[in-house]
Amino acid sequence: MAKKVTKIGVLTSGGDSPGMNAAIRAVVRTGNYYGLEVFGIMRGYSGIIENDIIPMHSRSVANIIQRGGTILKTARCKEFFQPEGRQKAYQNLKKLGIDGLVIIGGDGSFRGADIFSREFDIPCIGLPGTIDKDIAGTDFTIGFDTAVNTAVEAIDKIRDTADAHDRLFIIEVMGRDAGYIALHSGIATGAEHILIPERKTDIEELVESLQEKERRKKLVNMVVVAEGDEFGGANEVAKVVKERLPFTDTRVCILGHIQRGGSPTCLDRLIASRMGYAAVESLLEGRHNVMVGILNNRMHYTLLERAVKSKQKISDEWIKIVKILAS
Amino acid sequence: MAKKVTKIGVLTSGGDSPGMNAAIRAVVRTGNYYGLEVFGIMRGYSGIIENDIIPMHSRSVANIIQRGGTILKTARCKEFFQPEGRQKAYQNLKKLGIDGLVIIGGDGSFRGADIFSREFDIPCIGLPGTIDKDIAGTDFTIGFDTAVNTAVEAIDKIRDTADAHDRLFIIEVMGRDAGYIALHSGIATGAEHILIPERKTDIEELVESLQEKERRKKLVNMVVVAEGDEFGGANEVAKVVKERLPFTDTRVCILGHIQRGGSPTCLDRLIASRMGYAAVESLLEGRHNVMVGILNNRMHYTLLERAVKSKQKISDEWIKIVKILAS
Amino acid sequence: MAKKVTKIGVLTSGGDSPGMNAAIRAVVRTGNYYGLEVFGIMRGYSGIIENDIIPMHSRSVANIIQRGGTILKTARCKEFFQPEGRQKAYQNLKKLGIDGLVIIGGDGSFRGADIFSREFDIPCIGLPGTIDKDIAGTDFTIGFDTAVNTAVEAIDKIRDTADAHDRLFIIEVMGRDAGYIALHSGIATGAEHILIPERKTDIEELVESLQEKERRKKLVNMVVVAEGDEFGGANEVAKVVKERLPFTDTRVCILGHIQRGGSPTCLDRLIASRMGYAAVESLLEGRHNVMVGILNNRMHYTLLERAVKSKQKISDEWIKIVKILAS
Amino acid sequence: MAKKVTKIGVLTSGGDSPGMNAAIRAVVRTGNYYGLEVFGIMRGYSGIIENDIIPMHSRSVANIIQRGGTILKTARCKEFFQPEGRQKAYQNLKKLGIDGLVIIGGDGSFRGADIFSREFDIPCIGLPGTIDKDIAGTDFTIGFDTAVNTAVEAIDKIRDTADAHDRLFIIEVMGRDAGYIALHSGIATGAEHILIPERKTDIEELVESLQEKERRKKLVNMVVVAEGDEFGGANEVAKVVKERLPFTDTRVCILGHIQRGGSPTCLDRLIASRMGYAAVESLLEGRHNVMVGILNNRMHYTLLERAVKSKQKISDEWIKIVKILAS
C-alpha cells in the first residue's frame, strides 16, 4: 500500500513555458483542498538543494492563472545530477517533511526526478511543461498552444509587410528537436515551405520550387524553418536562397524568445489546470514516478523513465496538405 | 460506384465563425489541385437560389487564412427549406454543372443539405463551423477555439478592474444550447461559478457560496453564465444576487458578438484547413452526405442526418475541479 | 519657502484605468531616488482613513508596469468628503509622518484632495487617471489610449461578423460625460455614425441616413454610441432603429468593463511614467495642489480646483470627416 | 491662382508602415466626396512609370482601415530618380489626366516628389508614413504607434521568460537613424538601458552598471538597442557583455520585421485618416509640394524639401527618467 502523502513540493524546471503558473495554482489549491501542506520550490531542483522553499496557500496563487513565466522561477541544475546534490536535496526535503513532489518541466527534468525518486523513495509526479510538444505519452504539453499562437501572430505581421513589398521571408521558429511549432504555424499562416528536423531538408527542391513560383509571378513567399532543422536554421537557408535567387528580395526573421512568454491561451490554462489537479490526485492515490498526460482526451500516465523526447512521425498527408494549400 | 465529381460549390451557412475562410481556402485549393472547378456560393443557400455563384481560383483565396468572418458571407435561408426553393437551387446548380457541394455551418445547415441531397442526388459534405462546439461526431468545430480565447481575453480584462475595485462580475458568454464556451473560459479565468445549460442552476447554492466568500473577505469574484442557461442569462442572475448580497458591488457584462469575430487561432486555422482538404477528398472518393469531423485525432465521418446538436455530458470531475481551483 | 517633503503617500482613487500601475511605479522609484520614504495607500482615501498604508520600495513595484488595474486598489470614499473623515485621515498621515500625497484619479478625487490640502496643509499632487480623457489641463489622461484601443479591437471583431451577415450593429462604448472613446474608436473602425454627449443626437437624421444606405445596398453598418449620449445609450437607439428599419437585421453590443482592464499601451505607460516622475519632482520643488498634465508636449500644471471635467468641443471638421470617410 | 485639380493619384512608397491603408481610404473617399476621380498607383513610383494605375472608388477601400501593409503595395524605385524615369511617369499621368498626387512615405519618397513636381508642375502632397517617426514638421508619423506597441508586446513576452530564468536580454528594435522606437518601448517595458543613434554609446558605462546590478542580485535585466546604434546593434553589444559578465546568462533577440506589420492602433488609424483628408483638401486649396503633418495638435504644412529626416534631441530629462525608473 502507498505511503500516505501529507506535505508536497511543487517546482518548475528546465525551459519555462506559458501555463506553468496555471499548473502551480492547480497543484497548490488541489493540495490544500485535500488537506495537504504545499510548498513552492524556487528555481527548479536548485531550490531543493539550496533550501529555497516556501509554504504556499490558496492566496499565494491568486491572479496568476493568466500570467506567462513561472512565479517559482526555473533553472537547469547540474548539481542535482550528482549523487551529492541529490543527497543534499533529500536532507532538505526530509527536514521539512515533504513526502511528495510535482515536477513541471521537460524530459530532462523527468530524468532527474526518476533517479531521485528511486534513490530516496519520494514519489514524484511529472507534468509536461514545454513549448516543443515532443514528450511521449501526451497529446498536449503545457505551453505549446501559446507558443504556436505567438508564432502565428508574428508571422501574420510579417506577411503584411512581405505582401506590401513582394518579398520572400525565411522565418525561424523554436524547436531544437521537434518541428511541431514550425509545422503548425507554417500551415496556419500559409507558408510555402516548412523545414523541420523530422524530415530531410532537400534544399534543391526548395530552391526549384521558389524559382518556379518566381516564374509564375507569385512573389510573396514565406518559408518557416524550425531552429533544429538539419540545414542549420533560417540564416543558412537564406544564404543558399539569396545566391540562387539573386533577383528575389529575401529577408530573414528569427522569432526567438517571444515564443516562450505571454499570457497562456485558454487551452494551455485548461490542460495545465487539469494536469495539476491530476498530479495531486495521483500522489494521493499512491502513484509514483509517472508523468501525467492527456491522450485521446483521457488522462494517461507514463512512467517517468519512458516520458522521453518523442520524434513525431509527420505523416505524408500533412506534407501533401502543406504543398496543396500553399499553392 | 460513385459518379465522378468535376465541379463543386462551397458555401458558408448559419452563424459565422472564425476559421471559415481557412476552410474555404482549403476547399478551393484542394479542388484546383485535383483538377476540379470550384465555385463560391454567396450567403449560404440563398446564393444557390439567387444564382449568386462565382468561379474561384487559387488567388481568390490568397491572404484570407488569417481573416475572421467569411468572404462568401453567410445567412439563414428559409426558402431552402421549401421544396420550391430547393428545386430552384437545383436548377441553378445544374445549369453550371455543379455536381458536389461543401457546406460549412452548423446542424441546421446540415439538415438542409441532407434533404437537398436526397432529393436531387448531389453529394454534400458538411464541415462543422460553429463557435458552440456542440455537434455530434467531432471533437473540434471551426471557430470554437477562437471564440473561447476571445472570451478569455475579455474576462482577463474584466478581472483587472474587478480586482481593483473588489467587485463581483456576472459575465455572460455565448452558447444558447451548449455551455462549452462558458465552461472552458470560466475555468481558464478562474471564475468562481460557471452556469451552463447542461446542468440545473441552483441559484440558492450560488448565493450561499458568494455569501460565504464575502464572510471570508474574498471580495473579487466572477461568475460566468452561458446565454442559454436555464436561469435566463447574466441579467437574471444579477437580479437575484443584488437582492441577496446588497453590500456587494455587483456588475454585469455581456460579451456578445465580439466572440464571433477576430483572426482565427492556430488551432482553428489548422482544423479548418485539414477539414477543407478532407471534404474535397471525400467527394472524390465518392462519399456523400457526411460531415467531416475529427475524433480522437483521426478524421471521422458522420452521416449528415446524425450530425445533430449534441449535449455534452459535463463530467462531475470538471465541476469538482472548478470548485477546487476557484477556492 | 516650501516645507521640505520627506515622506510621501501614493494612492489611486475613483474608477481604475490601465496605466495606474506604471504611475505608481514611477512615484515610488522617483521618490526613492530622491531619498524620500514612499508609502502605498490602499483603496483610495479609504486607506488613509482606515490606516491601510504600507511602505513601498523599488522592488514593491517590479514587474507591474505592464499590468492593468492597480496594485493599490481603488475606491470611491464618501467618508473623506465629511470633515470627520478627513480629520481621521490627517491623524493617520501625521502618525506616519507623511507630508505629501500623490493622488491618481479623476476630477472627483482631485476635489477631495483640494479640500483636504487646504484644511491640513499637506501638499497634494494629482495625476489624471481616467479612461474618459475629459480633464481640463491635459491632452492625455492615463488609460484613455488603452481603453480606446480595446474598443477598437472589439469593434473590429464585430465588423467581421457584421460583414459576414450584412448586419447593422449599434455598439455602446464607455463615456458617461465625454464622447472621446466613441469618437476615436468610431473613426478608427469606420463607423457610419457616432453619437456623443457633446452633440445633440438627431435620431431622425440617423434613421434617414441608414435608410438611404439601405437603398444603396450598403448593408453593413455600425453605429457607435457613447453610454452618456442623451438619447440613452445603444438600447434606446436600437429600439427606434428596429422600428423604423424593420427589414434590417439590427443587433446591439455593449462593450462594458473590458474597456477598463488590460495591459496598458505604450503611450499610457509612457505618460504615466513621465507624470509619476513629475509628481515627485513637483513635491520636491514645493508645488502643491496642482494636477500634473501634458499640454502641447510640455508638462503643464493646473490648480486642482480647476482640474475639472472638461467638455471637449468636437470641431465640425471631425464630424465632417466622419461623414465623408464612412461613405 | 491654383489650377483646379480634377483627377488625383495616390501611392505608397518606401518602407511600408501600418496605417497606410487608412490613409489611402481617406484620400479615396475624400476625393470622391469632392467629385474628384481617384486613381491608385501600384508599388510606389514604379506604378507610374509602368502605368500600373487603377481607378478607385469608395468600395475599393471598404474594410481596409484595420489592415496592416498597403493594398497599393510599395517599393523603392531607382528609375524615378533618373530624368528619363520621371519623363515616362509624367507621360503616363498626362495620358490619364491625373493632375495631383498624394505620396504616402518617408523623406526619400518626398525628395522624389519634390523634384518631379518642380519639373512637371503636378502638385504633390506628402503624408509621413514611416515607423521611425523621424520626419521634421510633424509630431506623428503613420505607423510609429503601431510599431512601438508591437515592440512593447514582444518585449513584455521576453520579460516573462527573462524573469523565469533570471536572464539578461539584449533586444534590438528597428530604427536605423532614429531611436524613438527604442526609447519609447524601452521606457514602457522598464528596460535598464536604452541605446540609440542619437547618443554616444558608452559601452563601459553599460557594463559597469550591469555588473553593479549583478552585485545587488538584480538578475533580470533588459537592454533595448536601436538597430542604428553606433555600437553596431544587439549582437555587437552582446559580444562585449558576454565577455565582461561571463556568469550572466545573456541572450539576444532581434525583433525585426514583425514591427512593420499588424493591424494599426487607434492612433495610427486616426492620424492617417485625418492626414488623408487634409491631403485632398490641400490639393483643392491649391497647396503644392508640402507634407501634411500634425504639430501641437494642429495640421502643419512643411515644404517637401524641408520634410527631411530629423534627428530628435533626446532631452537629458528622459535619460534621467530611464535611469531612475529602471532602478
Q: What is the DSSP string of B53-89?
A: EEEE-GGGGTT-TT-SS-TT-----SGGGSHHHHHHH
Interface test with B, best of A266, A269, A298 (most B CBs within 10 A): A266
**Phi, psi (degrees; rounded to nearest 5) at D309:** -55, 135
Say whether D226 sits in a helix, a strand or coil: strand
* A314 is a domain residue: no
Say whether A22 sits in a helix, a strand or coil: helix
- Please indicate, yes or no, whether residues D17 and D131 belong to a single structural domain of this protein: yes
CA atoms of A164 and D24, how far apart (whole Å)? 14
CA atoms of A227 and A131, how far apart (whole Å)? 13
Note whether C258 contacts B69, CB cutoff 8 Å.
no
* C326 is a domain residue: no
* D204 is a domain residue: yes
pLDDT along chain C (327 residues), means of 10: 84 97 98 98 98 97 96 96 97 97 97 96 96 94 98 98 95 96 97 93 93 85 95 96 94 98 98 98 95 94 92 81 89
Examine the residue annotation and report whether A16 is marked as an active-site residue of this protein: no
Q: Tell me the CB-side half-sphere exposure of residue B95, using CA atoms within 13 A.
A: 12
Torsion of CA B60, B66, B71, B72, to 10 degrees: 90
**Phi, psi (degrees; rounded to nearest 5) at A39:** -115, 140
CA atoms of C264 and C262, how far apart (whole Å)? 6
- In this structure, the number of other CB atoms found within 10 A of the CB of residue A64 comes to 17
- Please indicate, yes or no, whether residues C230 and C149 belong to a single structural domain of this protein: yes
- Please indicate, yes or no, whether residues A200 and A112 belong to a single structural domain of this protein: no
* pLDDT attached to residue A316: 83
Q: Is the pLDDT of residue D1 over 50?
A: no
* B289 is a domain residue: yes
Q: How many domains does one find in chain A?
A: 2
D-chain CB neighbours of A255 within 8 Å are 258
- Please indicate, yes or no, whether residues D135 and D269 belong to a single structural domain of this protein: yes
Give the closest of B33, B156, B163 to A324, CB-based: B33
For the stretch B206-210, contacts whose Cβ atoms lie closer than 8 Å and that sit 24 or more positions apart, written own/partner, are: B206/B237, B206/B241, B207/B240, B207/B241, B207/B244, B207/B245, B210/B168, B210/B241, B210/B245, B210/B248
Alpha-carbon gap: D306 to the closest alpha carbon of chain C (Å): 22
Q: How confident is the model at residue D203 (pLDDT cuts 50, 70, 90)?
A: very high
* B105 is a domain residue: yes
Among B326, B301, B321, residue whose Cα is nearest residue B110: B301
Task: Inform me whether the C-beta atom of residue A156 falls under 8 Å from chain D C-beta atoms.
Answer: yes
* pLDDT attached to residue A42: 98
CATH of the domain at A245: 3.40.50.460
Note whether A325 contacts B267, CB cutoff 8 Å.
no
Alpha-carbon gap: A103 to the closest alpha carbon of chain D (Å): 15
- Please indicate, yes or no, whether residues A12 and A131 belong to a single structural domain of this protein: yes
Among B105, B320, B17, residue whose Cα is nearest residue A273: B320
CATH of the domain at A75: 3.40.50.450
* B315 is a domain residue: no
On whether the CB atoms of residues A17 and A104 are closer than 8 A, the answer is: no
- Please indicate, yes or no, whether residues B104 and B177 belong to a single structural domain of this protein: no
* pLDDT attached to residue A1: 45
- Please indicate, yes or no, whether residues A281 and A191 belong to a single structural domain of this protein: no
Q: Would you say D19 is a known binding-site residue?
A: no
- Please indicate, yes or no, whether residues A91 and A195 belong to a single structural domain of this protein: no
Q: Is the pLDDT of residue D16 over 50?
A: yes
The 10s digit of each residue's pLDDT in A63-81 is 999 999 999 999 999 999 9
Q: Would you say C26 is a known binding-site residue?
A: yes
Task: Inform me whether the C-beta atom of residue B138 falls under 8 Å from chain C C-beta atoms.
Answer: no
* C322 is a domain residue: no
Among C212, C211, C175, residue whose Cα is nearest residue C194: C175
Report helix angle B144-165 to B266-284, nearest 10.
Answer: 160
Task: Inform me whether the C-beta atom of residue D166 falls under 8 Å from chain C C-beta atoms.
Answer: no
C-chain CB neighbours of B163 within 8 Å are 69, 73
For residue B295, give the chain A residue with the closest CA: A296
Give the closest of A12, A160, A253 to D68, CB-based: A160
The 10s digit of each residue's pLDDT in B11-31 is 999 999 999 999 999 999 999
The 10s digit of each residue's pLDDT in C237-269 is 999 999 999 999 999 999 999 999 999 999 999
- Please indicate, yes or no, whether residues A139 and A183 belong to a single structural domain of this protein: no
Note whether D29 contacts C152, CB cutoff 8 Å.
no
Least confident of B171-175, B312-316, D45-49, D162-166: B312-316
Q: Would you say D175 is a known binding-site residue?
A: yes
C-chain CB neighbours of B159 within 8 Å are 261
- Please indicate, yes or no, whether residues D55 and D155 belong to a single structural domain of this protein: no
Question: In angstroms, how far is CA C47 from the centroid of its own chain?
Answer: 21
Strands D290-295 and D193-195: unpaired
- Please indicate, yes or no, whether residues B17 and B49 belong to a single structural domain of this protein: yes
Strands C221-226 and D37-41: unpaired
Q: What single-letter amino acid sits at A15?
A: G
- Please indicate, yes or no, whether residues C107 and C193 belong to a single structural domain of this protein: no
With a cut of 50, which residues of chain A have pLDDT below it? 1
Indicate the length of chain A as a whole number.
327
With a cut of 50, which residues of chain B have pLDDT below it? 1
Catalytic residue among D114, D132, D229, D268: D132
Catalytic residue among A16, A99, A114, A132: A132
- Assess: ipTM above 0.90: yes
CA atoms of B187 and A272, how far apart (whole Å)? 11
* pLDDT attached to residue A221: 87
The 10s digit of each residue's pLDDT in D71-128 is 999 999 999 999 999 999 999 999 999 999 999 999 999 999 999 999 998 999 999 9
Give the closest of D75, D158, D258 to A158, CB-based: D258
* pLDDT attached to residue B2: 57
Mean pLDDT of chain D: 95
On whether the CB atoms of residues C255 and C174 are closer than 8 A, the answer is: yes
CA atoms of A326 and B58, how far apart (whole Å)? 9
B-chain CB neighbours of A30 within 8 Å are 324-325
Among A73, A5, A11, A7, residue whose Cα is nearest residue A48: A11
On whether the CB atoms of residues A215 and A111 are closer than 8 A, the answer is: no
The dihedral built from the CA positions of residue C41, C45, C51 and C52, taken in this order, carries a sign that is negative
* B75 is a domain residue: yes
On whether the CB atoms of residues B89 and B48 are closer than 8 A, the answer is: yes
Note whether D165 contacts A18, CB cutoff 8 Å.
no
Look up residue B13 and give its three cell numbers. Answer: 451557412
Catalytic residue among C132, C134, C229, C268: C132
For chain C, the maximum distance between any two Cα atoms, rounded to a whole number of angstroms, is 72
Note down the domain range covering A201. 144-260
On whether the CB atoms of residues B96 and B53 are closer than 8 A, the answer is: yes
Task: Inform me whether the C-beta atom of residue A221 falls under 8 Å from chain B C-beta atoms.
Answer: no
Q: Would you say B190 is a known binding-site residue?
A: yes
D-chain CB neighbours of A251 within 8 Å are 257
